[in-house]
Structure 1
């Protein structure tokens, strides 16, 4: 069955897990546990009056929000790391909030750069930065100059790609709204029409499956 996305919404490269694990292994020779006090604790990459740091996500996830409008940019699950850009501007564009049970470690940005040099990990850093850049471009492409229908379809495909146990705990509307701030009425109308057309199966507000290729036009 052809389940390619609605045309125009290109998807970024796959998460380079092997590359990320290689970087994490090197960085853990100098990292220390990061104490998380509670769910949704803010994790600062650029602490005030302190050196920038790199955050390693060993288990669980961080949710990343745009500082300007509190839009959830992405859920970044382990393995992952952030802070290698080394740019205060980029670091302050987003807020990082830990999920309950997340296991995080941290090390100074300057020490991470030293370890990259010591272990000759320049290609791994470049590959990972390419992935981050592509994902940011994908999100921008998805949200700018796209119809509500195109955006809803794109996030339905994102939900479909989640592991089933995570997808079936995730409200379709909440997921779309947190990432887009689209009006409830418009999103719910599109979801209702897709259900009635038997394009998607939603039970208790959760996406069970995309049943067939979504229409190009709404």
Structure 2
């Protein structure tokens, strides 16, 4: 490892919680509860008649998996919104699964857009869509044409940004593997080397802290 330089990892804008809450408040005037069957329940972004709908994540989280290979794209914690694009193609690429205890509501996409117009929430929609677009670009940039080392370091940064109570329940290897499908041997060697170099503190497979800047090269 080159100890004199650090990797350049760009991260997307922070989640616009205030904007999301404002949109949710408007949509909840007409949304209805979604019944789930517990952890892993698949949440369809279409109503029974085929009409697209907007999903409100009020408590807990949805896990979003890429349909093609079951790769976990992201854990989307409350408050959050899905279905705002109204694009069947986009959402056919992913599967949405609720976590145990998640509280979800929905309303038809057409009515959600009417509420946006009635309440003049166009800027809020644009700000939220910008955030989603940036996050998608970040994930694409992270996983394409990057070395295993760069990907592992980026996901360690993600883990560090989690609330401590969530991070300390999360296996470092499982988190990286679910989001990347990288080989266990390669990931474990990098984690071992970073730990031996005192770059990270891991106990019982959980990330305690990143102790110093990672080297650029491995």
Shift in Å, 1:46: 2.5
Q: CA deviation at 1:47?
A: 4.5
8 Å contact from structure 2 (residues 6, 216) kept in 1? no
Tell me what 2:25 maps to.
25
How many residues end up aligned between the 2 structures? Answer: 214
**CA–CA distance in 1 between the matches of 2:191 and 2:85?**
38
Structure 2: distance between partners of 1:48 and 1:149 = 44
Equivalent in the alignment of 1:6: 7
In 1, Cα distance between the equivalents of 2:56 and 2:46?
A: 14
2:61 aligned residue? 61
Q: Which moved more, 1:45-54 or 1:172-181?
A: 45-54
2:125 corresponding residue in structure 1: 125
Secondary structure of 1:132's match? helix
Question: For the Cα contact (< 8 Å) 2:173–2:205, is it kept in 1?
Answer: yes
Cα shift readout 1:98-137 (whole Å, capped 9, x = no counterpart): 0000000010001100100000000000100000000000
State the Cα deviation string for residues 36-66 of structure 1 (Å, max 9, x = none).
Answer: 1121000000356421100000000000001
After superposition, the Cα gap between the structure-2 partners of 1:5 and 1:217, relative to the gap in structure 1 and judged at 3 Å, is closer
Unaligned runs of 5+ in 2: none
Task: Report the counterpart of residue 112 of structure 2 in structure 1.
Answer: 112
Deviation per CA, 1:126-152, whole angstroms, max 9, x where unpaired? Answer: 100000000000000000000000000
Instruction: Please tell me whether the aligned partners of residues 58 and 78 of structure 1 are also in contact (alpha carbons under 8 angstroms).
Output: yes
Identify the range of structure 1 (46-55 vs 134-143) with the bigger mean alpha-carbon deviation. Answer: 46-55
The residue that corresponds to 1:187 in the other structure is 187
Partner of 2:77: 77
Matches within 5 A, 1:105-184: 105-184=105-184
CA separation in 2, counterparts of 1:47 and 1:104?
14
Q: Distance in 1 between matches of 2:64 and 2:169?
A: 19
TM-score (norm 1): 0.96
CA distance in 1, matches of 2:18, 2:182: 35
Q: Distance in 2 between matches of 1:47 and 1:186?
A: 43
Distance in 1 (CA, whole Å) between partners of 2:135 and 2:48 is 28
SS at match of 1:81: strand
Aligned partners of 2:6 and 2:215 also within 8 Å: no
Q: Secondary structure at the match of 1:135?
A: helix
Measure how far apart 1:93 and its partner are. 0.9
Secondary structure of the residue aligned to 2:158 is helix
SS at match of 1:209: strand
Structure 1 alignment gaps of length 5 or more? none
* Structure 1 equivalent of residue 42 of structure 2: 42
Q: Give the match for residue 197 of structure 2.
A: 197
